[in-house]
A and B are shown apart, each in its own frame.
Chain A
Amino acid sequence: MDAKPQTSVKLVLLGEAAVGKSSLVLRFVSNEFQEHKEPTIGAAFLTQKCQLPNRTIKFEIWDTAGQERFASLAPMYYRNAQAAVVVYDVTKPASFVKARHWVSELHAQASPDIVIALVGNKVDLASDDNGPRVATAEGQALADDEGLLFLETSAKTGSNVQEVFTALANKLPEPAAASAATQETPDHIDLSAAPNKQANCAC
């Protein structure tokens, strides 16, 4: 297992306050959930590894603060990020508007190679018909238009959370270095061609 090459990937989480960014990370990193998670001030930093069949991805995660006024700090995180998760709360249509905004900002400002996942969180709340809900089709449409991965998740139940990170890991281009002479790897698995291969993050 340790013989596999390891790639570090900078990942940034963006989205309106209280949509569940920190909760998604907590679920991904520790498989836990807190009913009342404290707001993130500035940013929090976490790492977690994700095992793919032929390599290990070490996510270096910047979990950012959601309130509008912290947005001025955001370029500092995403400027060099290789992956981004843009989160909205499916029960809060306003947070979807914000997500749209983040996507266009990333396209305009971040690295052109950045891999972005759009995530509609808190699906557990949406099921029992309370108030407006951002339709799955709406999220999917945005993702299709902008070339994003798209998943609906619940940090509370854990539904689809690992999948977000696995999908990102699978979609990340394999660095040129990985096929360099220093590494002895079975190099013929084309991940980008088979993004749905059963590869899961080991957590």
Chain B
Amino acid sequence: MAFYPSGIFKVDYASDEGLFPTPVIIRSSILFIIFLLILPWFLSSHMLYIMITMFIAVVGAVGLNILTGFTGQISVAHGAFIGVGAYTCAYFTQNLAMPIWISIPAGGILTALAGIFFGLPSIRIKGLYLLMATLAAQFFLADYLFVRWKSVTGGVGGFHVNRPAFPGIPGNPNLGIELYDDSRLYYLAMVVAVIAVFAAINIGRSKTGRAFKAIRDRDIASALIGIDVVRYKLMSFALSSFFAGVCGGLLAYSWKEISPPVFGLDVSIAYLAMIICGGIGSVRGAVLGAIFITFLPEGIMFIMNNIVIDLLPSWYNWGYLFSGLHAMMYGLVIVLFLILEPEGLNKIWINFRNSAKIWPFPYY
């Protein structure tokens, strides 16, 4: 039986500004990380792959949340930005023989530059018009550049990348611990995801993040109190795209094969679905959303294969149902959350936590 203090009294401002409000949370965070560390031993190879995908999605979602959640700039180009990172990483590994600790940051930085470039319209336009500009970026990159710039991307035929080793040296990326096994890539993805989450939280609670949120809430007033709106908007594009680029690099290593369609508009929408169903503007929400959206297809497949398939009439082409569900699932998640729980999984989590705290004796 554990006793918790009835309240935590903060006696200085440093602790009030701190990240972990209670020792309980520190302890449970550490436990959670240990859990993640030993998890691979118990997972099937398929589940291992899903977990890796989930960590990678966390990086991307947390990144999109910086741009759309914090700064309020709606972007539908995240999928294409992830693609920029993926191709950069693949190219650095495969054609330039760069080690992983150069390729992944390079992917991030190049994508950040792309983000700044395609974010330039945000200097003059906002709202729906900016959304249009990001839509244009998405199509220009994924449907044109990736397809046509064959010498770098391999065009529609795709690009094959061998998984490098960790850490590797310039000239020989395969020196070190081999990552060919998913259980090793798991740890890389996990570490990157944890760093990404903490970086996003830190941004959110310091000067930069406050400026982002101010621009989201009221851009004119922000300028008048001394925030360089243009600079912070572009910074937000850069930072968010950096995350997207890192996410893309990890994806390239996880899949070992990339081609333009896997960075299409539906990927952008999937990431928007993550931050919306998680709860827009909150880092925890982005994480929860990434987890939810990663496991959603698994859940749907399970239900389909075990239940629905037997109920369908024999003349019906059930392949249609699969592709149909696949096409609509992100849209459905977005719509359902927006209507039923606009504050997303984050809100559900908070409600759950609050009621768990006082269980079994609620005050009412």
A complexed with B: no
